[in-house]
Amino acid sequence: MRIRTLPIVALVLSCLASTIALTHMNNLPAFVVIGPGYMVQAWLFEHDLALGGFGYEATMVGVSAIVWTLIVVGLVGAGRVVGRLVRGAR
């Protein structure tokens, strides 16, 4: 089984960015990064399932990291498909 490094690197970098964004939520770029986790935490709060303390932070960072990893990996995959189509059309 071959493990590709792009998703792992993207997840690690997304975790770092989300962790930093959680502590700096007073500016717009940080809020955009942590936004997906914030939305999930708000949904959990509305349904009385929210976690407190470390669970709150772990939910926000974890969900945000997974969402941004999927976005990055999806964009790279789409770029590769478009590149193959362009090269095949020549």
Domain extent at residue 13: 5-89
pLDDT tens for each residue of 53-89: 899 999 999 999 999 999 999 999 999 999 999 998 7
pLDDT at residue 43 tops 80: yes
Number of domains within the chain: 1
pTM for this structure?
Answer: 0.86
pLDDT tens for each residue of 8-31: 999 999 999 999 999 998 899 999
Give residues with Cβ within 8 angstroms of 66, minimum separation 6. Answer: 11, 14
Contact 50/89 with Cβ under 8 angstroms? Answer: no
